[in-house]
Amino acid sequence: MSVALEVLSEHKCFDGVQRFYQHDSRVIGLPMRFAVYTPPQAQQGPVPVLFYLAGLTCNEETFITKGGAQQFAAQHGIMLVAPDTSPRGSDVPDDKDSWDFGVAAGFYLDATQEPWSKYYKMESYIVDELVSLVRSQFPVDAEKIGIFGHSMGGHGALTLALRHQDVFRSVSAFAPICAPTRCPWGHKAFSGYLGDNRAAWEEHDASILMSRANKPFPQGILVDQGLADNFLPEQLYPEAFEEACQQANQPLTLRRHEGYDHGYYFISTFMEDHIKFHAERLK
């Protein structure tokens, strides 16, 4: 079934095209925005596609304008798709006193608790709706899909990849929230969206999911972490994911970088490596 897409803006970029779209989401029940970079190779035929999930306070424009990814996507012939980080609108519930919960903080899961459960269905939106939309309306190879992200979006990339291994063939992350059941961000999000059911929390914790797996991504996972990241000690727990990968016999390249913080200066520095990582696995 065809979905009506509204083009909000269009820009030529590295011989490809950067577009921003809006559509009426059947899953969310509201308009949702997302960005697509189409590389020049798409003029000759279907290309692999890489979904990027942004972090807290971000939207569909953040990665596209700050990440510096288009030049490398053009080199490797990969389409980039960047969804928003939560539903938005006058009816969408929010915690006005929090920047880390509510609007722009959807945590890439389906909320089960009121009032959040009506609109906050980001896992279903991305995996069930947006992936299908991209497959049907853009020149992509439907079997060559990867996912990566940053911080909350790194959490989303890891958990969605592990929960939907039939969809995503490659996964990487920048400074991901690796063990949300252990950290303040995770406790706040999970208790709000999922309630007190700790078993439900564990289904969205990358380290726990990995510990239960058996080499789910045999071609490896790439994670970059800055050691000057202010959120590293209390929120991110890369060592927990590293331990879980060892337990699951999962090849992991976890790179720790002296002097780098949590922001897009760090992300853009290592963006080329991540695009190349996915290109090698998706081609």
* Residue 262 is among the residues annotated as catalytic for this protein: yes
Active site residue 229: yes
Among this protein's residues, is 151 annotated catalytic? yes
Burial of 105 (0-12, 13-18, 19+ CB in 10 A): buried
pLDDT tens digit sequence for 4-48? 999 999 999 999 999 999 999 999 999 999 999 999 999 999 999
| pLDDT attached to residue 174 | 99
Residue 1 clears pLDDT 70, i.e. is over it = no
Question: Which member of 151, 170, 207, 211 is catalytic?
Answer: 151
pLDDT at 59 over 60: yes
Q: Is the pLDDT of residue 130 over 80?
A: yes
Average of per-residue pLDDT across 163-181: 98
Position 185 pLDDT exceeds 60: yes
Residue 3: per-residue pLDDT? 82
Cα–Cα distance measured from residue 71 to residue 264, given in angstroms and rounded to the nearest whole number? 16
8 Å CB contact between 225 and 232:
yes
Whether the Cβ atoms of residue 37 and residue 17 lie closer than 8 Å to each other: yes
- Separation of alpha carbons 204 and 120, rounded Å: 15
Percent of the chain with pLDDT over 70: 99
Select which of 76, 150, 262, 274 is catalytic.
262
What tokens does 82 get? 């960047």
Question: Other CB atoms closer than 10 Å to residue 115's CB: what's the count?
Answer: 12
> Mean pLDDT throughout 228-250?
98
